[in-house]
């Protein structure tokens, strides 16, 4: 697993006058590397969220990869302002976690949609094969019982 260090200056982060220092986060290729134990459950991320999302609960759902419709809705409601990340005293890269979780959810939905379409295609194909096979069987039976004058022994 490779890790890249990303320095975020205040200019590229969402504006928050109380937090203007430079943060460095370790972000792996597979997603944020923050440990679930890094969260001290202070709730500051929840209080600064303009959408009133439970960012700490989303954080733990993302870490545990437990998704349910409620988590999907909450992730969809996130406007990615970064206020939760700036307010976090543990410097957990919440925004990167939420983006990764949203991407993974979309990939799972796409995979489920592809599987459903493939199953539907397979069912239609089996139905066509069955119909074609029945029609072919009837034709073979008709031909097998048809008279064949060229096989008669009479000259």
Q: Residue 11 has what pLDDT?
A: 44
pTM across the whole model: 0.56
For the packed helices 69-77 and 94-145, what is the interaxial angle rounded to 10 degrees? 120
| Tally of CB atoms within 10 A around 46 | 16
What is the C-alpha to C-alpha distance for residues 105 and 113, in angstroms, rounded to an integer? 12
DSSP secondary structure code for residue 146 in this structure? S
Q: Residue 66 has what pLDDT?
A: 74
Q: Residue 118 has what pLDDT?
A: 94
Contact between 15 and 64 under an 8 Å Cβ cutoff? The reply is: no
Q: Residue 123 has what pLDDT?
A: 94
Q: Which residues of the chain have pLDDT under 70?
A: 1-37, 153-155
Q: Residue 120 has what pLDDT?
A: 94
């Amino acid at each position: 697993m490779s890790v890249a260090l990303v320095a975020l200056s205040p200019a590229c982060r969402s504006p928050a006058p109380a937090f203007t220092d430079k943060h460095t986060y370790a972000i792996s290729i597979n997603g944020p590397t923050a440990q679930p134990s890094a969260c001290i459950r202070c709730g500051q991320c929840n209080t600064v969220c303009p959408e009133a999302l439970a960012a700490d609960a989303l954080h733990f759902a993302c870490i545990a990869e437990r998704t349910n419709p409620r988590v999907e809705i909450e992730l969809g409601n996130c406007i990615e302002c970064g206020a939760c990340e700036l307010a976090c005293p543990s410097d957990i890269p919440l925004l990167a976690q939420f983006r990764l979780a949203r991407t993974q959810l979309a990939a799972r939905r796409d995979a489920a949609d592809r599987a459903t379409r493939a199953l539907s295609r397979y069912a239609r194909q089996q139905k066509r094969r069955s119909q074609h096979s029945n029609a072919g069987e009837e034709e073979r039976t008709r031909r097998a019982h048809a008279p064949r004058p060229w096989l008669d022994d009479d000259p």
